[in-house]
Every structure is written in C-alpha cells, then in structure tokens.
Structure 1
Amino acid sequence: MSLKVVVVSWGQLTNVVREVQSQLSGEAQIELVEGLFDQQTTLEMARQIEASGQVDVFVSGGGNARMLRHNLQTPVVAVTVSGYDMLKTILQSRTGDETVYFVHFSEIIHELNDLKEVLPFPVNQVALKTPAEGEAFFNELSRQEQPVVIVGASLAWDLARRHGLKAVYVYTPKAVLEALERAVELARVRRQEMEKTQRVQAILDFACDGIIACDQQGIITAFNPAAEMITGISSQGATGRPVGEVVPSLKLEAVISSDRGLFNQLERIKDKEVMVNKVPVIVRGEPRGAVATLHDIVTIQKAEHQIRLKARREGLEAKTTFAEIVGESQIIQQTIAQARQYARSEATILIMGETGTGKELFAQAIHNASQRQGQPFVAINCAAVPENLLESELFGYEEGAFTGARKSGKLGLFELAHGGTMFLDEIGDISQAIQIKLLRFLQQKEIMRVGGQYTIPVDVRVIAATNRDLLAAVREGTFRADLYYRLNVLPLHLPPLRERKEDIPVLLRDMLFKANRALARYAPVIAREILLHLPAYSWPGNVRELQNIAERIMALALTANLSEHQVQELIGMVLQQGAYEETVKIKAGDLSLRAGERKDDLKKEIGNLEKEVILEALRQTRGNKTRAAALLGVSRSTLWRKLREDIS
C-alpha cells in the first residue's frame, strides 16, 4: 500500500502543488482537497478523511495547518517560508516606490519583524481574522493613491487581485516542494512505526504468557489477553490505570526504579498460583517503566507433562514387518504364518527361542500387522535393567517415592505404551515382586506407580519373550505358575538357525545387500564355504552370530571385486579368527565321545561343554565379557546369566 499525503489546499496553493508534485520521488500518493476559509468546515472534512484511515500525513499552509495540528491525531506538515525566501520575495515584489504589505490570516510573524529592521524600505505586517475584515482592508487600500504591493498566501493574494492591487504569492514552488518532501518522509517513518506497533501488538495478543507493562508513573500500558485469562481482569478495565490498583499483589511499580529484574517468583494472584518474571524498562540509562510476564503454574505443569510424553514417545515405534523377516525354509514360513494369525488377536503372546533368533523382530512385525499399528511399541530387556530399577521403569513413580526421585514423578513404560504394544524381552529373569505386579496388570489392565495411591487404567497388549524354559522354572519355583499361564496364551516358538541352515544363503545375501551391495553377489559362495567348513556347527548365537560373520567379512574385504579363491581365503580367515573350527571339533568330536561314554547324563555334559566354550572365549579375550559375548554370538546379558548359572 503506497503512502498517502493529503494536501488541504485553497486557491493558488492548489496550483503550486500541482506544479511541483511530479518532482517527488518514491511511491507516495498526493491527494488535493480543496478547503474553505471556514475552519470548522475544513476541520470536519479533515476528520472524515482521518476516520477513513486513508491518510498518513496532512499538508496545509498558514492558519489551517495550525488548526488541523491541534485537532487531529494524524501528523500535519505546514508549508513554511524561510527567512531568506521571505526577504527575497519582499525585495523582488518592489519595483519602484511601492509600499509593501505582508498580509496573512493568522498571528503576527515575529521573524518578519526582525527582517523589517534590515530592509531599506518600510514593510507593513497585517494579521487579519476574517474574510470580511480582509474585504474592508483591501477596499481601503484600493482607494489610496500611494502604490502598494501585497505579499500573502492564498486568501490575501486572491482578495488583493480582486481589488486591483499588485500581489505576490508568498509560497514559492521551492517551499511547497520541501513541505511535500517532509510530509512523504514523515509518512514513511510513521508507517514504519505503525507496522512495528502492530507487530508488537500481535505478539502481545497471541503470546501464551500473560504480559503486563507500565510506564514510569506505574500506569498500565499493556495488558494482553493471556494476562486477562490468568488474572480474570479485563484489558479495558486495566489499561490506563495504576498497576498497584489493578494488580496490587504483583508489586510491579517497585521494579521501575530497580536496576535488575526478578525471575521465577511464585506469587498468588486472585487465588491462583502464578510464576512471575519482572524487569525494569531502561531507556538511555533512565527508567521508563517495567514489564511482567505471568505463567500459570497449572499450564506449566501440563506443558511439561506433554513435552516429557512427546520426548519419551519419539522412537517408540516398530520398524520391522513380516515382509522384512528373511527365510525361505518351511519351518520359518510356518512360524511367520502362525505369527500373522496371532497378530489378529489381542491376547498375550509368549515368544520362545534361543538368543539371536529374532524375537524382537517378530514382536515388531506382529505389532505392525495388528490393529495397534501406528501406536507406540515399547520394548525393554528385563535382564539388562537392575532389579531395583526395573519396577520404576515399567510402572513409573510418584513424586517423592524414593531418594533421588524426580519432583514431578515419572511415567512408566506401560503408560507410554498406552494404546500400543509392550514387548518384555527376557521375561524369565524378572523377580517375584515384579512378577506379582505384572500379573495384576494382565488380570486388571491397570497399574500403580511406585509410591502411588491409586491405580491407572492402561490399554496395552503384552508380547513377552524368553530363551529359558519357563515351565521348568515354574517347577523349580522361580517363576509363578499363574503368571506363566497368563503369558502363555499364544505361544510362538522360533526355530534356531541350525534347524534351518538352508536359509543361510538368503540371510547372508540380505545382510550383505543392506550394508555392502557390491559384496551381496558373493553370498552363495560365502554360504557354501561356511557350510563346508562348519557342517555340524550348532550356531549357538543363531542369526545374530551369522550377522557377526557377515560384518567380519565386510571389514576384511579390501575390495568389492573378489575371485572365488579370494572369497575362500577370506572365509577361512574369518572362521579362524572366530575359532569356529575348534568349537565344532569340541561339539562334534568330544561331545559324541563323551555322550557315548555317559549317555545317561547328556544334559550335564552339554552344560560342562558350554562352560568350557565360554571359558575358552574369555581366555581368548583376556576376560573381556563384551568381546567374549560377541565372539560366541550371544548377548552380554545371556553370557552373564550363563556365568551365574555356572557359579550357582
């Protein structure tokens, strides 16, 4: 929108404006409005223009400019004549011995009185009040024999000419152009200030925090809608009144003369707990007021809850689908088909399988094939979390539940999984106390936080997983029978890799393709070499162990262009580094010998053999359990459990 300058003009001034307005640069729009000498009528016309909002600055001359300035909110620029231009006009107006009259309809111009003292001829200044007074004055001048010259603005200039007197117009084109240029610049600055004010007002109106500002006298200058909601006081009733009278408990006036602010102050405003920040407004080192921001405590608590909930929910999603579970063997396809059927149900699923068989992958695929797809999928390894922390992780805790607890408490994983699926891996390792709480949830579909006094209903489907024989644990008394039967509604057994060795080529191809597409074409050769070197290997780490072999191959393959002989050498190097041949020898040779000697205690011999393999791995890794677990192709938690069983 272009700048709008309205010139309230009359008579000759209109002609001069039209003459010079084309010399203005920029996008300003000049509108000429013919006024009258009747100032009341001119003022009403100007007020109508101002009310329409279609003006940035008014321009006028003489008495009209002063009158408009006193009665309008919009800035008014007066057409003025400098002392030099006034002197030049007077000197040029006198061609002989004429008497010079400077006539205007306004108050005496004192600057002209100063100029009269330096002129070599007399200059008479006449200030008229009304057109009738002007008619009488010019009638009298026209009867005199002494020649005169009249210098004046529009009305004086027009009356003099009508009475046959010589007249010179006082407003030169230069003076009018300068007035228009000042008006355009003022309009530009005013438009910028208005836009800035509107932006600030928009910020105040849409800010979520209450904002109250006052000037140096403590009078409220800003009171936004959020402040209205927090205090229950209307903005109209607050603005313009002393802040100590409107919100006495705020004590904002005390901050005006202070050199520092007060932050995070808990105050009560009309029976409501509010967090307040108060700062003084300093302009050029002088206090000019103060500003307070108000935050409703309840709103802060709700926002904190939502932020924490959103932050915890990020990443709580299942990424795997059944289409991404690799395997062409009949046994894995049957397992997938059974899992697809389970996905249609809401009943609890118990996934049983050795470490590395993909229990969490199946849990994610079941979730993504169920009606809970798109809802949270929360997974936790129960064996990896210390027993004293597992309860608070699963069920959350209230404020002050124990030493070190957060002041606001904490959401449990069951609450985060609301509407979705909870995957409890290594379920066989949970304590009796947590077994009881988990059983209550499965029966009642509600949880109670640690330190809580009320139950929270939660809609969560549970998928549990274990690599232990839970039924044997029930017989031994380490696992509750009622919980076992609550979990084992839909049992799903995952086959170990040794029962589906025909899937090794496709598994390798998938692993290599995802990480190094150039090596994926060697998957059949790599698989053949592995099966050739490890014909009787039991794959204790299952698919995870095969993944470790694939990663070693990618790490040792210096180039993607390998001959079959180079592939064979590479596989031999990888298997030798992993001590797989020695393991096979122990399992295939020594085990058969011992089994032949003591067939009646096969389970014990397998346990002893497992212990020997673990100790050998620890010896090779110099006691580093993380590296030993990787070497054996098992998780660190499984290695720890095996060691605890050996110790016990």
Structure 2
Amino acid sequence: MPNDSLEKLTQAANSYKAILNSMEEWVVIVDHQAKIFFINRPYARFLGVKADDVKGKKVTDVIENTRMHITVQTGKAERLSFQKILGSNMIASRFPIISQGNIIGAVGTVIFHDTHEWKQINSHIKALLAEQDFFQQKARSTDKSKNGANFHLNDIIGDSQIMKALSTKVTQVASGDVTVLIRGESGTGKELYAHAIHQLSDRADFPFIKVNCAAIPENLLESELFGYEEGAFTGAKKGGKAGKFQLANGGTLFLDEIGDLPRSMQAKLLRVLQDREVESVGGIKPTPLNIRLVTATHRPLESLIESGDFREDLYYRINVVSLTLPPLRERREDIPKLADFFLQKLSRRTGRRAPKLTVQALTAMLAYDWPGNIRELENVMEAAFYTSHDRKIPLSLLPAQLATAPSDYQASQAIPLTSLKEGTLKEQLNEAERSIIQATLIECGDNRTKTAKKLGISKSTFYEKLDKHGLS
C-alpha cells in the first residue's frame, strides 16, 4: 500500500476512533491486503478479542464468514447481507475505501446484531411508510374532491427551451375559455397538460372531468357522455344517471384519444358543442352547458379526415388552439432530470435511497430514441431501481435496446449549456461546470484520467469536483 494511502487511513481512523468506539454498531476497517486496520470496542467485545491484539491480522482469521477480503478485491459494495457470526444471524454491510481511483481498504458494519432486531426495525419502518402514505393519499383525495384535477404546470418536468416555450403558451391560453387540442405521441404527458390548463383557468374551482374515448365500448359511449333517464333502456339505473357533460358543467371536460371516437358519436358531439346543450338518452328536455372542452390525440386527425374516419367540421370545432407536445427524443437534455425525478419518486415510496445512473448508462439513455417517451422512461427507471443492488445503476441494468449508443452521437448534443437554469451567478457557474464535466466524461468514455487531462486539472481536483456535483 502506498505510504500516502496508509497515512489517509491512519488519519481517518484516529479522527473517528472515539466516535466509532462509542457506537452501538460494530465497525471494522481493513487495509488493501484485507488485514484488520481498526475494529471498534463493541465488535471486539462480541468476538471475545482485544482490538489491539487483532490489528494487522487477516480479517478472515478473526471474523467468521466475513467477505471483507472480497470487497477489497472487487471494489463492490455489499449492503444488508446476512452473515452468521458465533451462531448468531447478523446483517452486515461492506464498502470499499477508494482514494483517487485506487482501493486502499474497506469498511464493514454490522447494524442489526440478530435477525429479530432487523425484523423489529423493518416493521417499524413499514408502519411509518404506511402512515406517511395514508396522509399523502388523504391529501391527494382531499385535493381531488375539490375539482378532480391532480396536476399543476410545475409538476411537468423539463428545462429545455422547447418545454419552456410550451409552458409559456399553456399559460397564455389557459386563462381564456378557448377550446384546446393537445397533440403528441403516446407517453408524452398529454393528460398532465389538460390538468394544468384547468388548474390555471378561471374554472379551477369547478369540476375537471376526463373521458378516454378509446376505453369505453361504443354501445355505452352515448350514455356515458350524455347520461340517461330512468327507464331509457333495459338495465337503466333507477333515477337515471348524469353524463360526463352534465358532471363537467361549470368546469372542464377532457376528451382523451378523441381520434378514436366512433364516427356515429362524432355527429352527436358536434351538435352538443354547437348548441351548448345536452340531452340525455331517453330525455325530452335539453340541459344548457357551460363547459370548457380540452381534447387530446396521438393520431393524425388530418389523415383520418382524408380516409373518412373523422369529421372535418368536428376537427375545426375542437382545433381552435393546438398544443403539440414534443417526443422525448426532441428534448434529450431533459432526460437526466426526468430520470432523477422518477428515481426520487420511487425512493420516497419505498424509503430506500435513490441510486444514481453511471455515465455509461446515462450516455445510452441520451442516445436512445424512446419510442414510448416519458412513460417508457419511467418504466425503465422503475425496473432499474428495483434490480440495482448498489447505489448506482450501470448500463447492464438497462434494457438491451439501450445498451449501445450510436457512434455518431455527440455528448455536446446531450447536455447543451444553453439549458442552464436561472439563478445567481454562482449557481449558474456550478451548473455549467457540472454540465461540462458530465459531457467530457461521456466523450472520454468515462475514463477519469483522460477526462481530468482534457479538462486541464489534476486527478485530485477532478475527484473533488465529481463528489461536489454528485457524479462520482
């Protein structure tokens, strides 16, 4: 082991010796040869040895079933693994100690001294998470009971120029009562924008009612939209039932996947929109309507008009203001923030610390075209979150189609400096520095030495900056 590495271990151990000896958790530190460098008193006491007597001995000769030597060899952390010591089932964790890219030792901890203790803590955590989830659901339920809209414009993730421009347009059109058609591929977040439009409008205190035109059978669609009177048909509910149009009165009606609306229903919908009144199935008296209509589709309505599958007059009625949502491949610079958002969301749900993407994994994600857009990205992050055993998500945990980034893909395309956030000069400089380091890492294939050299800084300074920006 180099002398400077030995000195670092010695300094660290001496600095924290009093603290480590006072902890209930058991701690052992080994050097690069897997020899015990330090063991705290509680651990030594359990093993029936003196801390000074075992210093310098191979850890495998002192601790039963240890894997500390494997951690030193592989450099891979092992978290919360079972280990049997002196007849007791323990739960231990092991972490490599890395200095300037070199493994100089490892530290091991035993947090739960038997499985019963772990089960007690686990039950306690589950109870806390259940309590937290209850209050969050209650809050969501209370909020939803106000109007039915669950999302605001600030819930939409994206700092790219195209998303900023879209948010500006949404803010401009939301305040009026103009009919809006939201267009975009599947998974781009069309429903979120419909919610946001309602929340920003003067109708925010009134109902937000959504209907997926593709999910309701054609024979039920009329009664679902317009309601029905008692006795209107066999099986009709006593007293009748209000339709989605009646429920949305005063508020916003969101018709999702309107491109899938059957031709027979398009004429009836057009009539309702023109007359601003609706007559329920089996009814004789129309009900005046005061609603705002927002529609969405992933289908090319112009092509449907040419094929005769969509009415041209209805198209002009719903396409007063059009919002086109960009696919994820057209705003790649938002991918890191979106990925982190989904990982943090899973972290809050499970109580587990969110892992970070490695540079290779992020490079592949930035190069991938994401045909399923944000919904596909969320699914990929969820799978990687639950299959990762370390605090990082390597390329190997991503789907096979993401494994290889196109050779002509440039890092400068992935992380443009033009997408800097607003803030103080210091904040913007930090963001710029992080973007430059991340882009250079990608260009250098995650070669840390080459990256430091290209940036013109020493390796020690480079590793400090990696830690500072959470890129290590």
Alignment TM class, shorter chain as reference = 0.5 to 0.7
> How far does residue 530 in structure 1 lie from its aligned partner after superposition?
3.7
Residue 567 of structure 1 aligns with which residue?
Answer: 393
> How far does residue 533 in structure 1 lie from its aligned partner after superposition?
2.6
Residue 419 of structure 1 aligns with which residue?
Answer: 250
Query: 3-state DSSP class of the match of 2:203?
Result: coil
> How far does residue 538 in structure 1 lie from its aligned partner after superposition?
1.9
Residue 266 of structure 2 aligns with which residue?
Answer: 435
Instruction: Give the counterpart of 1:408 among 207, 230, 239.
Output: 239
Read off the aligned partner of 1:550 and give its amino acid letter.
M
1:516-550 Cα distance to aligned partner (Å, 9 max, x none): 05877644x35x43442355432111000000011
Q: After TM superposition, list the pairs within 5 Å mapping 1:243-282 onto structure 2.
A: none
Q: After TM superposition, list the pairs within 5 Å mapping 1:6-405 onto structure 2.
A: 314=145, 317-405=148-236
Alpha-carbon contact 1:512-1:519 (below 8 Å) kept: no
Larger radius of gyration: 1
Query: 3-state DSSP class of the match of 2:236?
Result: coil
Alpha-carbon distance between aligned partners in 1 of 2:285 and 2:393, rounded to the nearest angstrom:
64
1:325-355 Cα distance to aligned partner (Å, 9 max, x none): 1101000111111111110110110000000
Q: After TM superposition, list the pairs within 5 Å mapping 1:540-555 onto structure 2.
A: 540-555=371-386
1:448-487 Cα distance to aligned partner (Å, 9 max, x none): 1112122111211010000001011111111000000000
Instruction: Classify 1:345/1:315 alpha carbon distance in 2 versus 1 (closer, same or farther; 3 Å).
Output: closer
> How far does residue 431 in structure 1 lie from its aligned partner after superposition?
1.0
> Does 2:313 match 1:482?
yes
Residue 387 of structure 2 aligns with which residue?
Answer: 556
Instruction: Classify 1:402/1:529 alpha carbon distance in 2 versus 1 (closer, same or farther; 3 Å).
Output: farther
Read off the aligned partner of 1:485 and give its amino acid letter.
Y
> How far does residue 506 in structure 1 lie from its aligned partner after superposition?
0.7
Alpha-carbon contact 1:428-1:470 (below 8 Å) kept: yes
Read off the aligned partner of 1:385 and give its amino acid letter.
I
TM-score, normalization: structure 2? 0.53
Alpha-carbon distance between aligned partners in 1 of 2:193 and 2:303, rounded to the nearest angstrom:
24
Instruction: Classify 1:542/1:406 alpha carbon distance in 2 versus 1 (closer, same or farther; 3 Å).
Output: same
Alpha-carbon distance between aligned partners in 2 of 1:443 and 1:330, rounded to the nearest angstrom:
37
> Does 2:306 match 1:471?
no
Query: 3-state DSSP class of the match of 1:516?
Result: helix
Alpha-carbon distance between aligned partners in 2 of 1:520 and 1:350, rounded to the nearest angstrom:
40
Query: 3-state DSSP class of the match of 2:322?
Result: strand
> How far does residue 555 in structure 1 lie from its aligned partner after superposition?
1.4
Alpha-carbon contact 1:512-1:520 (below 8 Å) kept: no
Alpha-carbon distance between aligned partners in 2 of 1:513 and 1:479, rounded to the nearest angstrom:
42
Read off the aligned partner of 1:575 and give its amino acid letter.
P
1:151-181 Cα distance to aligned partner (Å, 9 max, x none): xxxxxxxxxxxxxxxxxxxxxxxxxxxxxxx
> How far does residue 316 in structure 1 lie from its aligned partner after superposition?
5.2
Alpha-carbon distance between aligned partners in 1 of 2:365 and 2:326, rounded to the nearest angstrom:
19
> Does 2:356 match 1:515?
no
Alpha-carbon contact 2:170-2:197 (below 8 Å) kept: yes
Q: Work out the number of aligned pairs and report it.
A: 263
Alpha-carbon distance between aligned partners in 2 of 1:501 and 1:456, rounded to the nearest angstrom:
47
1:380-424 Cα distance to aligned partner (Å, 9 max, x none): 111011111111111101111111111211110111111110110
Alpha-carbon contact 1:372-1:419 (below 8 Å) kept: yes
Alpha-carbon contact 1:509-1:520 (below 8 Å) kept: no
Extract unaligned runs of 5+ from structure 2. 1-143, 410-472
Read off the aligned partner of 2:393 and give its amino acid letter.
V
Query: 3-state DSSP class of the match of 1:403?
Result: coil
> How far does residue 513 in structure 1 lie from its aligned partner after superposition?
1.6
Query: 3-state DSSP class of the match of 2:399?
Result: helix
Alpha-carbon contact 1:317-1:374 (below 8 Å) kept: no
Extract unaligned runs of 5+ from structure 1. 1-312, 589-648
| Larger relative contact order (CA 8 Å, sep ≥ 6) | 2
